[in-house]
């Protein structure tokens, strides 16, 4: 049970890091891809340093991180289309309720798919670490999320 919980925390952590990384840069004048990448690289590198990760472990984690960031960046580039559609609906005489709901559902489905990929990445990454490293990463994740 503890092993499943540890894995679940790490998988959720990957999604959380991606979410925080992509949310922060919007609040100050737009989305900054480089700032996101630097933050995520720093956060993951720090965690890997804490567990004395091997070069092979770093390679696996880096590949998974890069794939998730690339997909999230592509999704973020499309957010302007959604914004424009909602503004267009707001300024129209009769907004299309069904089209707006479909747009929301499509975005949720995109983020759900990304979260599932993050879980799959977490599974791949999980298998590269030994039990003591996984325990240390779980503790690190717990502390970085307010100690809960």
Q: What is d(CA 14, CA 118) in angstroms, rounded to the nearest whole number?
A: 6
Could you please report the per-residue DSSP string of 41-99? Answer: HHHHHHHHHHTT--HHHHHHHHHHHHHHHHHHHHHHHTHHHHHHHHHHHHHSSS--HHH
Per-residue pLDDT tens digits for 1-42 = 555 545 444 554 555 445 544 454 444 556 677 888 889 899
Q: Which residues of the chain fall short of a pLDDT of 50? A: 5, 7-9, 12, 16-17, 20-22, 24-27, 148
Assess contact for 36 and 75: CB atoms under 8 A.
Answer: no
* End-to-end CA gap in the chain: 18
Mean pLDDT for the chain overall: 81
3-state helix, strand, coil in the chain (%, to 5): 85, 0, 15
């Amino acid at each position: 049970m503890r092993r499943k919980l540890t894995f679940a925390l790490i998988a959720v952590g990957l999604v959380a890091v991606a979410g925080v990384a992509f949310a922060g840069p919007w609040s100050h004048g737009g989305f900054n891809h480089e700032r996101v990448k630097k933050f995520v690289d720093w956060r993951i590198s720090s965690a890997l340093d804490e567990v004395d990760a091997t070069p092979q472990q770093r390679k696996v984690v880096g590949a998974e991180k890069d794939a998730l960031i690339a997909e999230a960046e592509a999704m973020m580039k499309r957010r302007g289309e959604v914004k424009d559609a909602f503004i267009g609906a707001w300024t129209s005489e009769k907004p299309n309720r069904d089209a707006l709901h479909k747009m929301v559902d499509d975005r949720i489905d995109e983020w759900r798919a990304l979260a599932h990929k993050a879980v799959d990445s977490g599974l791949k990454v999980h298998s590269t670490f030994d039990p003591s490293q996984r325990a240390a990463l779980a503790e690190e994740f717990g502390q970085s999320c307010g100690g809960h």
